[in-house]
Amino acid sequence: MSWDRWRRRSPFSRIFEEMERMMRELDEMFSKSFEDLERELPKSLIRERRTDRGIVREFGPIVYGYSIRIGPDGKPIIREFGNIRPPRGRPEMVELTEAREPLVDVYEEEDVVKVVAEVPGVEKKDINLNATEDRLIISVDTPQRKYYKEVDLPAKVDPKSAKASYKNGVLEVVLKKAGEERKGFKVQIE
């Protein structure tokens, strides 16, 4: 007796039919989800190239990661990075952006605030830094790489005192703690 014939006669046939229906629905759901994702993806993250088998679509890069370290108070500090994250106030949704959020560490020392960011794959001249007394904005916008991060500083700083260096994909910005200046200032990288 063949499998199909046995299945039709079997008391379990309704179970098999229900499983097949569920699998079809699941397949349709995944197909629709991928179509929705493709529509919502920033166009710069979709590339097509011709191969000997035809046109191939490539997506990405899509980057998400996190870093955990223990703060001075003994509590864990969790930092996310990448270009995929939940929109503010909507943890059930996911937002995908062209610009990656770099991994950033902020260190508050006695007289300075030090910001260390990983921005690999770019030239020093492509990095834009803007500092205010309480925030540092890191941005890169090249055809190959895009980064963007607004870093809230743990103390008021003098934006004019900023010194920045970039080596091997690591950006380091040192800002002296200061008083009352409230004007933004473009930071040059040495």
Q: 83, 63 in Cβ contact below 8 A?
A: yes
Quote the pLDDT of residue 86.
62
Contacts of the segment 71-75: beta carbons below 8 A, 24+ positions apart? none
Taking the CB of residue 33, how many other CB atoms lie within 10 A of it? 10
Assigned architecture for domain 64-187: Sandwich (2.60)
Secondary structure, 3-state, 23-47:
HHHHHHHHHHHHHHHHHHCCHHHEE
The pLDDT score that the predictor gives to residue 87 is 60
Domain residue spans of the chain: 3-40, 64-187
The alpha carbon dihedral of 26, 91, 105, 143 has a sign of positive
pLDDT recorded at residue 37: 67
> Mind listing the pLDDT tens digit for each residue in 139-169?
999 988 889 999 999 999 999 999 999 999 9
**Continuous segment of H or E residues that includes residue 17:** helix 13-40
140 class by beta-carbon count within 10 Å (0-12 exposed, 13-18 middle, 19+ buried): buried
Region 19-28: mean pLDDT is: 88
Q: What is the pTM of this model?
A: 0.59
- pLDDT digits 0-9 by tens, 53-97: 888 877 777 777 777 878 778 888 777 777 776 666 655 566 667
